[in-house]
Structure 1
Amino acid sequence: MPNRTKGHTRPPAWAGREYLIQTGATVVSGLGNAGAPIATAFALLRMGGGAAAIGYVTGARLAATVLFLLIGGAVADRLPRHRVMVAANIGNALSQAALAGLVLTGSARLWQVVLLAAANGIGQAFYAPAAEGMIMESVDQEQAPRAFALFRTALNSAQIGGAALGGALVAAVGPGWVLALDATTLAAAGALRLFLRGPAPTGHAADGHAAGGSPADAHVADAVAERGAGPGMLADLREGWREFTSRRWLWAVVVQYGVVNACLIAAESVLGPLVADQRLGGPRPWGLVNAAMGAGLVAGGLLMVRWQPRRLLLAGTAGVLLFALPAATLAAGAPLAVLGGAMFASGIGGTVYGVCWMIALQQEIPAASFSRVAAYDWCGSVALAPVGTMAAAPLAGGLGLNGALWACAGGMTLLSLLVLAVPEVRQLARVTADSPSTAPRPPVPAPAAGRPETVPGPAEAAA
């Protein structure tokens, strides 16, 4: 909890400079990012497009992310991660600014939106693995669960306002201005991340302690000292693949989530805006129910600050089961208030899953290869998402809008139950000070030549 000194509220002692800057930058970009999907969908609808157009644009962004994720993960393990994040932020700001200009001038064409969406996806492919490796390098291992829960709470609080504001602005002034706001917040986030010191170069970890920073800031230098120059990118990717495939719980959940995510994105990014346009009254109510989901994400973050489930992936899978509620509610034609409740519950599930997954990765993945493993995680998790977006329109044409939504809800539920058949998923437990954590961890394949051996035990976590 925050410390209070002479009437002032201060951040917790473990929240160092790097953590605070990273959290602040993520909150800033989250304000714009929450409204951007709403703006893009309704811009396409106002251009005369339908489910197919939304599917093409969403699919292009996701396909580009999938194609470049592994490269992004290798780059993030070889270059300063904060610099990779800044470059990705600026690149995405430029692509969103170009899209905003086309929409505002009324000159946007579908092929242009598809290309700019793909550019945005490439930026995400470099940003995501770097961010997952960066945020948990800025805090001590002991405080990582609380730090990540608070980080997610701050981000999701921003997304509540961003989604509600985005929907209202689309209705009031049009989608182009919302896209311009997203470009501005991305540029501001990149500017903030320029102030990150980042980890010291390999062999200079002591400099981080000598600089007089907090223990958490010094931990940044210690964590990165494990990462060497490496023999080459292909060798890095092979090492990351060995780390990924050596853990059955890891690849089983990623395969499961890949299908769930395809159904989720098809339901909420393609079919959902169509339902909102036809039945709910347009972008404003759709923005409100997305804000309700953001409120659920915040509530889930507050829950996870206090609740520490022992069976991490069992609790995380229970959270994923809640993802099916919005699609089922949309298919059932429920009132807006009921849909808002379903989105709220889905948000809680999202944070429960995200925090539990982060802790599992933190415990089991070596720091030196974390971004590469995170890239395989991201790649598997989003690989089928372009298929889901492309298939949404044909599915709605064959089954009807409600039938397609029921199919998405059923797919999410079925895969979430099937993954529990894997014993390691049910049994993977949190390591605490009271648990027998001194027992040896399962053997990990030897690192590729030229890479230093990583420190055993919990390492990093996703952000």
Structure 2
Amino acid sequence: MTSAAAVSRFRRPDWAGRNYTLLTAAAIVTNLGSQGALIASAFAVLQAGGDGGDVGLVAAARTVPLVLFLLVGGALADRIPRHRVMVAANGLNFLSQGAFALLVLAGTPHLWQMIALSALGGVGQAFFSPASEGMLLSSVEGEQAGRAFALYRMAMQGAGIGGAALGGALIAAVGPGWVLAVDAVAFAGAGALRAFIDVAHVPAREPGGGILADLRDGWREFIGRPWLWAIVAQFSVVNAVVVAADAVYGPLVARDHLGGPGPWGLALAAFGAGTVGGALVMMRWKPRRLLFVGTLCVFPLALPSAALAVPTPIGVLVAVMFLTGVSIEVFGVSWMTAMHQEIPEEKLSRVSAYDWLGSLAMVPLATALAGPAESSFGRTPALWGCAVVIVVLTAAVLLVPDVRDLTRRTAEVNGALGTPATTGPAALAPGTPGGIAPDAPSADAERPVGGLG
């Protein structure tokens, strides 16, 4: 093979432009660091003398400001260049995680300090997430958008699996403080990559009437599209019960019936492998009815809860978790493609913020109620209840005509803005059949568990 042929063979695809490549590389860096840091922060609390309740407090401290500031973060990201918001948020996460690491390495962390630093990290994530999703959705164009999103998610999920495994090994070898320090460095490195993003193709933002006016405008865009608010409403509950089943009931079932944390870790790893497999599928498959196919793939999310309710042998649970990972990744790529296709570029971050808010808002409530539900009804009925809720809500969403009928456009788009060359959401009434062309939270590593809608 000649050198010219080798260069041609390994040339970056046309749809993987500069911004997309930088965003993907930065996501790999952050996911490698963040997945290990999730484990390290829990062990840091325990190492400091805390108990399971303290671990929960530190985790909740990150979620509360994330929910509170998401909408402001989305509005801000649609007013100023998104990559600046992302870099600033990465800088804040670098400082908060670096301070956390120093406290742990010095051996003097107090619970209130860990809670405060975790909350600061949640603020950074609240501003980062809508900006990141809007930036990613505007970085690709044309009919290859679905393939680009699938590759991005595959890289992100693969880095997450590797990061969790590497983080666990490093915690055992050198302690949680160094893993937190590595995560801080990863935030700095990712922020440096994102600083080179080119936003020259993005039209200048028109002066608006302030943050509140922008939020109202984003809300009108969100509520005017039945497919959008219906699926976000669905996932506000689905995410909550899935997280409750996996985070609360899963470890208990593993302890009592499956042999402990080892088998449960294997099941979670199978889910991660399934997401990579699902992304590989979506690299080649372009379902025509985006959201119909994606919503059908939400039904398997009920299977892990059902398997834990039985409970099935570990081999069956591993297979179920792998299938669930594949299915939810098909939904995830379809959802991103629909957002890219239907939402005007200048409103992407605000709409993403409402999506994020819906995906996260009920998770703390569901995890808090999981224990009382087990006490009142029993673990097995509670798990069957989770499965039934997922099936019923997913079936209900399929009753929405726009969810069944929204189809992938085959026409070229203008630039990287995701707006059709002829007609689109801005030209026709949002959410009406005329606005649908005839023949759909993780976007980044910092996305929390369950942020799929």
1:107-256 mapped onto 2 (5 Å cutoff) = 107-171=108-172, 173-196=174-197, 198-200=198-200, 221=201, 224-225=202-203, 227-256=205-234
Corresponding residue for 2:428?
Answer: 443
Aligned residue type for 1:130: A
**In 1: Cα distance, 2:336 partner to 2:152 partner:** 12
Separation in structure 2 between the aligned mates of residue 273 and residue 37 of structure 1, nearest angstrom? 17
Instruction: Establish whether residue 269 from structure 1 lines up as the match of residue 271 from structure 2.
Output: no
- Structural mapping, 1:370-409, within 5 Å: 370-409=348-387
CA distance in 1, matches of 2:108, 2:261: 21
Whether the 8 Å CA contact 1:42–1:283 is kept in 2: the answer is: no
Provide the C-alpha distance between the structure 1 equivalents of 2:27 and 2:113, rounded to a whole number of angstroms.
28
Partner of 2:415: none
Is 2:349 the counterpart of 1:347? no
| Matched residues, number | 423
The answer (yes or no) to whether the contact 2:150–2:280 under 8 Å persists in 1 is yes
TM-score, length basis structure 2: 0.83
Distance 1:113 1:412, change over 3 A: farther
Q: Identify which of 296, 308, 313 aligns with 1:318.
A: 296
**1:61 and 1:126 mapped to 2: Cα distance?**
13
Name the aligned partner's letter for residue 27 of structure 1. I
Q: Which range moves more in the overlay, 130-139 or 295-304?
A: 130-139
Q: Counterpart of 1:70?
A: 71
Letter in 1 for 2:130: P
Deviations 1:57-110 (A, max 9, x none): 333322211110110001101111111111112222332333344445554444
Deviation sequence 1:10-38 (CA, Å, 0-9, x none): 21122222211111010111112223333
Matched-pair contact (CA < 8 Å) for 2:80–2:205: no
Q: Per the alignment, do residues 409 and 165 of structure 1 end up closer, same or farther by CA in structure 2, a change over 3 Å counting?
A: farther
Change (3 A) 1:292 1:180: farther
Mean Cα displacement is larger for which, 399-408 or 120-129? 399-408
Inter-partner Cα distance in structure 2 for 1:306 and 1:410: 32
Q: Secondary structure at the match of 2:398?
A: helix
Matched residue type, 2:116: L
Rounded Cα–Cα distance in structure 1 between residues aligned with 2:208 and 2:361: 27
Cα separation, partners in 2 of 1:226 and 1:73, compared to 1, 3 Å: same
For 1:199, give the aligned amino acid: V
- Whether the 8 Å CA contact 1:431–1:437 is kept in 2: the answer is no
Q: What amino acid maps onto 2:6 in structure 1?
A: G
- Which range moved further: 118-127 or 135-144? 135-144
CA-CA distance at 1:171 after TM superposition: 4.8
Distance 1:45 1:407 in 2: 32
Aligned residue number for residue 17 of structure 1: 18
Asked if the contact 1:166–1:178 (Cα under 8 Å) also holds between the matched residues in 2, the reply is yes
Which letter does structure 1 place at the counterpart of 2:26?
A
Structure 2 CA distance for aligned equivalents of residues 168 and 121 of structure 1:
26
Runs of 5+ unmatched residues, structure 1:
201-220, 446-455
1:207 — aligned with what? none
Query: Which letter does structure 2 place at the counterpart of 1:325?
Result: L
* Secondary structure of residue in 1 paired with 2:97: helix
Return the alpha-carbon distance in structure 2 between the equivalents of residues 93 and 272 of structure 1. 32
Q: Identify which of 44, 49, 52 aligns with 2:51.
A: 49
1:164 and 1:150, CA in 2 relative to 1: closer, same or farther beyond 3 A? same
- Root-mean-square deviation (Å): 3.1
* Aligned 8 A contact 1:160 1:293 in 2: no
1:254-306 CA-to-partner distances (Å, cap 9, x unmatched) read 11101111112222334445555676676665554433222111111110111
**Alpha carbons of structure 1 residues 394 and 338: separation in structure 2 relative to 1, 3 Å:** same
Q: Pick closer, same or farther for the CA change 1:404–1:90 going to 2, 3 Å.
A: farther
Q: Report the CA distance shift for 1:422/1:295 in structure 2 as closer, same or farther (over 3 A).
A: same
Note closer, same or farther for the CA distance 1:187–1:266 as it changes in structure 2 (3 Å cut): farther
Q: Aligned partners of 2:300 and 2:384: how far apart in 1?
A: 14
Are the structure 2 counterparts of residues 120 and 311 from structure 1 closer, same or farther at C-alpha, using a change threshold of 3 Å? same
- Matched AA of 1:384: M
Q: 1:320 to 1:176 in 2, by over 3 A?
A: farther
Q: C-alpha offsets along residues 137-163 of structure 1, whole Å, 9 cap, x if unaligned?
A: 222233211111111111111112122
Aligned-partner Cα distance in 1 for 2:77–2:67: 16
Alpha-carbon contact 1:304-1:355 (below 8 Å) kept: yes
Q: Which whole-Å deviations, capped at 9, do the CAs of 1:282-339 have from their partners, x for residues lacking one?
A: 6665554433222111111110111111221121112222223333334444444433
Aligned to 1:7: 6
Q: Matched residues in 2 for 1:282 and 1:390: separation?
A: 23
Instruction: Please give the alpha-carbon distance, in whole angstroms, between the structure 1 residues aligned to 2:177 and 2:314.
Output: 26
Per-residue CA deviation, residues 352-373 of structure 1 (Å, 9 max, x unaligned), is 1111111111221111111111
Equivalent residues of 2:338, 2:408 under 8 A apart: yes
Q: 286-295 or 184-193: which moved more?
A: 286-295
Q: Provide closer, same or farther for how the CA distance between residues 439 and 86 of structure 1 changes in structure 2, counting only shifts above 3 A.
A: closer
User: TM-score of the superposition, structure 1-length normalised?
Assistant: 0.81
For structure 2, list consecutive stretches of 5 or more residues without a partner in the other structure: 413-419, 431-435, 445-453
CA distance in 2, matches of 1:409, 1:328: 6
Contact 2:248–2:367 (8 Å) recurs in 1: yes
Cα offsets for 1:365-412 (capped at 9, x unmatched):
111111111111111121111212322333344445555444333333
Counterpart contact for 1:165–1:287, Cα < 8 Å: no
Alignment of 1:80 with 2:65, yes or no, is no
Equivalent position of 1:214 in the other structure? none
Residue type of the alignment partner of 2:119 = A
